[in-house]
Chain A
Amino acid sequence: MRASLPLAALASTLLLWLPPAPSHAEGSVLDTLGQVLDDVAAQLASAADRPYHVALALTDQEELTIQGTHGAHAGTSHGRRRTGDVDLRVGDMRLDNTHKLRDGGWFDFPNRTRIEAPLGDAGPVMRALYARAVDDTYRQARQQLIKVRSNQQVKVAAEDPSDDFSPATPVQARVPVPPLQLDKVAWTELTRETSSIYLDYPAVYDSAVQISASREETSLATSDGTRLGHGRLHFRVATWASSVADDGGEIQVYDYVDVASADRLPDRAAVTAMVRGVAERVTALRAAPLVDPYAGPAILRGRAAGVFFHEIFGHRIEGHRQKDEDEGQTFTSRVGESILPAFLSVVDDPTTARLGDVDLNGAYAWDDEGVPAERVSLVERGVLRSFLMSRSPVEGFPRSNGHGRRQPGFAPVARQGNLLVLAENPVPYAELRRRLVAEIKRQGKPFGLVFDDITGGFTFTGRSEPNSFVVQPVTVWKVFPDGRPDELVRGVDLIGTPLTTFSRIVAASDEMEIFNGSCGAESGWVPVSAAAPSLLVTEVEVQRHEKGNDRPPILGAP
């Protein structure tokens, strides 16, 4: 990854610290949430259908964003909000209101009550807001349980009769989150200055350089005794630039660095290099030819391979999908079987905060159900061993391994954290590339492809649509068997289906690359990382990327 030097060292005389947000997890918020739980328990003590589990959470999010564009300061935003969540279960662990209705209708899914909580220490107001939300949620939960029980009677027996909820050891921990501190003056100047670099590149039409700094602190209190306060800091320096090719193809290149503390932010030289790199890539891509749909051998460089695994493997080993009969359940019955080449193992490890010199975005100590994060060995030497588990059990996996995650305002489900693809007997990248050329020749193909960098991807996991994936590369190179220089191309997406594609991975390189990003699914957006070596795949398929049709700007840039 990129060099990291603290900017503060360069501009210590310009320091303007943001006023720190008060750390609320030290007592008052958790105490208030605890009081609400006590109130609820007391008021519903005699109710026959009282909740058997209640979890109350408060997430305090503060974010500062500074952006520069075309050599000017575009704007600064600084906001803070506190979002409250109520997760409440009626019935019992075996069958409760969260049980998915089979063949449910549009209005069979209850609305989630979201709380906009006060920013300051306002215990009485908080208690009223949470009590209101608990009652609204409780009313819906009881109605939902009636539907669930009826659904159970009407439908055939479920394929997976697992319980709806599992016990977890209560946690009592409070880890203070440092205040959000950023040198606003220096970063305003740096984003302004580096954004002017794009003016030297005529092919770049629109562009920006941005830093965003965020602080998130979560308080969780549950009726089974958990009292947890923790959180994280996150900083991202990002830049993007766009252009339009003569054929109307939109070109967007985005690059960024994620770090977990301000002292690890990139310095001026690193940001400058990042901006120049993006500008040069946009310029090169604008002139690059389109590539036709193609099937043949390819190398997925580390970041692309990481996203590839996140999409086609990671989402399919999320625990709740294994008992959801609307899901494709690619791997549900494959535990103990070989699903990957024997030289590959996969773990998801939220407990690893840094890999090499790179801070991992998917690191956390406890998940959003208050369960300690665990390193989960998912695949060992090609054999599937486990799933990512929240407190919703599946057959053979009765307990959480600390992967119940959510964006504030959503209900937690099993999600990925840091997905790490590990290879045995790796080879240097040069050797991997040599093998690619050999494979191209063996198959008699005119060229192979190297997927160098990607923007993201998505996958369909349900049964009602093809179980396919799409990985969206930015930089793709054609590699020729006759020794010609590689050729940059554009306009394709990598597509496929999981089982076929896995079976065609034949070798891995000895270096790991890391993709830090955010993943969106049923429980909202959560920060994740995916790390992998470069992979040689004997056959991949690419399709044309969705293309814009606008002409480039008619008049020259000012």
Chain B
Amino acid sequence: MDAKKIKIVLGFSVVLNVALLVVLFSLKGGYKQQAQDSVKSSTKSYTENVAKVVNAQNDFITNGNKIWQLVFETSANALSKVAFDARVAALDSAGKLSPQTSGDETSLSCGTDCKVVFTFKAGKFAGVDYSALSKLSPDATFSVEKPAPFQFKNK
């Protein structure tokens, strides 16, 4: 190869090096930012999902305890319907137990597909079915999933 050709190739190569370095450093900043954003959003998404489980469990503990307390007090003292309603109102001012009365029965919600049913006949306590609450499996209801595999999100 003669000197002239070498000079041309060298010149082209040097220009290419400069261009590649510019590309390298400009991409570097972008990739770094994308990686940080990706970690941040993925981690946030996971911790939010876990927080939902923890909050749901805390709500269940609070509401479940109130229902157990109502079952206990009602069965121990044979509360009348009026007294029962007063206790429900006192313990559940926020209405989270969603009391619903149909005929002689008043149900309280202990979660999805979970109801405790109180029966009052002529205003007097006649019984309570709390089998749904006592059989509820907390392990099946409240569990934390392992983190999903990391997905790099390209912008």
Say if A and B assemble together. no
